[in-house]
Amino acid sequence: MLRSSQRRVAVAIAIGALLLAPALARAGGDVSVVLTAQRVTLVNGKEALVSAERARPGDVIEYRAEYRNAGSRPVKELAATLPVPRGMEFLPRTAAPEPILASLDGKTFEPVPLQRRVRLVDGREVTRDVPAAEYRFLRWSLGVLGARETRTVAARVRVSPLEIAAVAR
């Protein structure tokens, strides 16, 4: 049986899969998407991927979205979108393939790292990088997905101890 914090993480992972549903619908035609989430661990000093069912705050989860064109024609201008659910923090330099775009709202995507204008206490405005923990969606421009071709995108996230603690209160 899962403890309450583990259930919250499992719910966050499930929510991530549900958030991907709009991306599935947009893919359209003969393109299907399979989303998996696995926990990254060390086994005998080597990295291994295991079930994310028992993920805890601080654990690293690898999301993979496999896009498959089962049709007989290529699909053009395919954009793969991967949600980063609340309670998860995107880990920079873990997305593959590169380059990627990111979004805070799922509507506006920009190249990583995202940046914003910030007003300093002295009144000056400067540009600062947005913390990757605030990214809510990642996107890859896959271009053409040929007939019967498959492409996979992946990124890693950390289960946020702060978010889980806030939910537990």
Specify if 127 maps to a domain.
Answer: no
Specify if 110 maps to a domain.
Answer: no
Which residue type sits at 3? R
Specify if 12 maps to a domain.
Answer: yes
Specify if 111 maps to a domain.
Answer: no
Specify if 39 maps to a domain.
Answer: yes
CB 155 within 8 A of CB 40: no
Which pLDDT score is estimated for 17?
A: 46
Specify if 99 maps to a domain.
Answer: no
What are phi and psi for residue 118, nearest 5 degrees? Answer: -130, 135
Which pLDDT score is estimated for 68?
A: 96
User: Which structural domain range is residue 56 located in?
Assistant: 4-92+141-168
Nearest-angstrom CA–CA distance, 65 and 149 = 14
Specify if 109 maps to a domain.
Answer: no
10-residue averages of pLDDT along the chain (169 residues): 46 45 52 93 90 89 95 93 92 96 96 96 96 96 94 95 50
Specify if 11 maps to a domain.
Answer: yes
CB 111 within 8 A of CB 42: no
Which pLDDT score is estimated for 28?
A: 54
Q: Is 117 exposed, middle or buried (0-12, 13-18, 19+ CB in 10 A)?
A: exposed
**62: CB partners within 8 A, 6+ apart:** 37, 38, 39, 40, 49, 94, 154, 155, 156
Structure tokens at 26: 């947009």
Domain count, the chain: 1
